Amino acid sequence: MEPSEYAVTDEQLNAPSDLYDAIFVRKSIRKYDTTPIDTNAMAGISAYINTLTSMQDDIKTELKLVARDDVRGLLSCNAPHYIVLFSEPKGNYLVNAGFMLQQVDLYLSANGIGSCWRGGQGPVKDIKKATNLKFVITLALGKPAELLHRENISEFTRKPMDQISTVSDLDELLEPVRIAPSSMNSQP
């Protein structure tokens, strides 16, 4: 598929108005303004986290919004805030965790806040001790010190649709999957 064939409208390339729109412009932010996010925005993030849809309601999860000092590991993105996700380790708990945290990721992007999934960063011992669930993943967040959204679909480095799916006539549904973030941006 050539870039001109992507099923993305010009409207989707502007600032997102909802979570679906955010799919087409979001990107991982690795440079942050270290100024903390204002209290109202943090309250909105906390409230949103409490409304998340789970893929599997029988899996217990807990998301904690923490400060930079509450995270250990490689701090290459140096964000002022982090969300750490804990889960009961059963069934498809990793898929469930990804499903839940991706909702947060899109919410942040749609609301002008940068984010980046951080596999090498985890909570400090005191945060881990406060739950009996297993730590899964961390999401860095803050005011971006770089462009928050992609300006053009060509900025996505992704394989063409025909290399990732044999399904035809569903490009409109599969395109958001194709351009979704992938580990180290190296789609399987």
Looking at the fold, whether 10 and 68 belong to one and the same domain comes out as no
- On whether residue 21 sits in a domain, the answer given is no
Rounded Cα distance, 115 and 124, in Å: 20
Looking at the fold, whether 48 and 4 belong to one and the same domain comes out as no
| Bridge partner list, 65 | 83
Q: Number of folded domains in the chain? A: 2
Note the pLDDT tens digit of each residue in 133-184.
Answer: 999 999 999 999 998 888 877 777 788 888 888 888 887 888 887 877 666 5
For residues 152 and 71, the model is more confident at 71
pLDDT score of 74: 65
Helix 93-110 to helix 39-49 angle (10° resolution) is: 150
Average pLDDT over residues 10-37: 74
CB-CB contact of 11 with 122 (8 Å): no
pLDDT score of 154: 75
pLDDT score of 16: 47
Looking at the fold, whether 35 and 98 belong to one and the same domain comes out as yes
pLDDT averaged over every residue in the chain: 83
Token pair belonging to 16: 């997102």
pLDDT score of 89: 97
Which residue range forms the structural domain that includes residue 139? 26-148
pLDDT score of 1: 31
pLDDT at 185 over 80: no
Looking at the fold, whether 119 and 34 belong to one and the same domain comes out as yes
pLDDT score of 182: 63
pLDDT score of 186: 56
pLDDT score of 172: 80
Q: What is the pTM of this model?
A: 0.82
- On whether residue 97 sits in a domain, the answer given is yes
CATH number (domain holding residue 64): 3.40.109.10
pLDDT at 9 over 70: no
Instruction: Give SS3 for 127.
Output: helix
- On whether residue 80 sits in a domain, the answer given is yes
Confidence bin at 7 (pLDDT 50/70/90): very low
For residues 112 and 156, the model is more confident at 112
Q: In percent, how much of the chain has pLDDT > 70? A: 85
Looking at the fold, whether 77 and 164 belong to one and the same domain comes out as no
Looking at the fold, whether 58 and 119 belong to one and the same domain comes out as yes
Rounded Cα distance, 60 and 44, in Å: 23
- On whether residue 187 sits in a domain, the answer given is no
Looking at the fold, whether 105 and 164 belong to one and the same domain comes out as no
- On whether residue 183 sits in a domain, the answer given is no
Note the pLDDT tens digit of each residue in 81-111.
Answer: 999 999 999 999 999 999 999 999 999 999 9
